[in-house]
Homo-oligomer: A and B are copies of this chain.
Amino acid sequence: MRNKKSTSPILMLDAPERNADLHFASGFWAPDPLIFLATATRGFLCVSALEQGRALAHAKAEPKRRLRIVTAEDLRLRGKRRRSLSEWAVALLRQEGIRRVDVPATFPLAVARRLEARGIAVRVATERLFPARAVKTADELKKITESQVAAVAAMRAAIGCLRAAKIDSGGCLRRGRRRLTSEDVKQVIHATLLAHNTWCRDVIVAGGAQAADPHDRGHGPLRAGEAIVLDIFPQHMGHGYWGDLTRTVVRGKASPALKRRYAAVKAAQVAALAAIRPGAACAKVHGAAAATLSQRGFVTEVRDGQPVGFIHSTGHGVGLEIHEAPALAPVAGRLQRGNVVTVEPGLYDPRMGGIRIEDTVAVVRGGWKILEPCPHGFEV
């Protein structure tokens, strides 16, 4: 499954919760750093004695590799060396007679230098180490869909909360006697995600100008008539796969200008989806969305130091990472059957706010399939 540039074993040293390649290759999800060594036919997972029980119960290598769980005891490390992951790596490589390894670009510099000092050649892999991650199995699709189902439930709850809000004389939304804030809506989203065994720390509920900065997660009172971007991307707490979903709504009446923008973004999403099929160039999918927006007169540029228009790419892969391959962006590459991608065009302008519509789809024979449908609609 790997590019043929190197036949060296792959060495990884990280916490699986922070390193999706390590999680994918070992099948093991843990908060503490550990080592995984992948040769052509075998996988070695080095964990502390404390983790051995969990590793034996849960870890499993990709089908093509036989897995062995190894502890510091097995490597006969004594004293201080038992606590050094670098020493674990050196001992394991020596035991297996390995003198050169490929490592990911993020491999810790200090460990690389220690390996080199012990005569091991360390090459930074420029190709993806586990390209198989981009092509989901049926089991992976099921897991991503579980997280997407949670996102849809949370979106329905959040929009229900906005719909139920009263509008006060100042144009602010109210729930009972209090102003309804982004924080309130986020609490509704968090609670729904939790009930689905998922979480999304950085959920976005951003109204008006806040939403024109795609990295502003939103805060404070929400207002009628402004576009409110809701972006929910939960990770499943059991298996670690993500979902991703965005809707933009207006409580009350939207201005004609906002409606034109919403219609343009919706058309851009339809155009991008129409371009998705196995073999389609990723850049073409992005181009379809971008062309739709520019044909409708929306210019992407930097104005007064702030980017306005369609200021991000059309989508990204979703799996064990919230952003992974393939990218729907002006880059090389073609879609494959089994890819899971978001399709999320948007328009941003600090004077108007932000509008983004995002669904997550699987690439299937002849086209695409939505993982879990979620209603569309602008005014609520």
Contact = CB atoms under 8 A, between A and B. Distances in A.
A41 interface: no
Interface stretch (A108-116, A159-167, A221-229, A275-283): A108-116
A237 B201 CA distance: 7
A98 B305 CA distance: 28
A53 B213 contact: yes
Nearest to A203: B237
A307 to B, nearest CB: 6
Contact of A199 (B105, B113, B195, B201): B201
Given A18-B18, A105-B109, A311-B50, A190 B194 contact: yes
Contacts of A66: none
Nearest to A50: B215
Contacts of A202: 31
A53 B216 contact: yes
Contacts of A255: none
A168 interface: no
A298 interface: no
A195 B183 CA distance: 11
B122 A213 contact: no
A380 interface: no
Interface residues of A, number: 41
B110 A124 contact: yes
Interface in A187-219: 187, 190-191, 194-195, 199, 201-202, 213-216
Task: Classify the interface of chain A: helix, strand, loop or mixed.
Answer: mixed
Nearest to A54: B215
A108 B105 contact: yes
A30 interface: yes
Nearest to A71: B305
Contacts of A199: 199, 201
A202 B31 CA distance: 9
Contacts of A18: 18
B108 A106 contact: yes
A137 interface: no
Interface in A90-131: 103, 105-113, 122, 124
Contacts of A103: 109
Contacts of A50: 213-215, 307, 311-312
Contacts of A49: 302, 306-307
Given A18-B18, A187-B195, 8 more contacts: A51-B215, A53-B216, A105-B111, A106-B109, A106-B110, A107-B109, A109-B109, A110-B124
19 contacts: A18-B18, A32-B215, A49-B306, A49-B307, A50-B307, A50-B312, A51-B215, A53-B213, A53-B215, A53-B306, A105-B108, A106-B110, A107-B108, A107-B109, A108-B109, A109-B109, A109-B122, A191-B191, A199-B201
Interface of A: 18, 30-32, 49-54, 103, 105-113, 122, 124, 187, 190-191, 194-195, 199, 201-202, 213-216, 237, 302, 305-307, 311-312
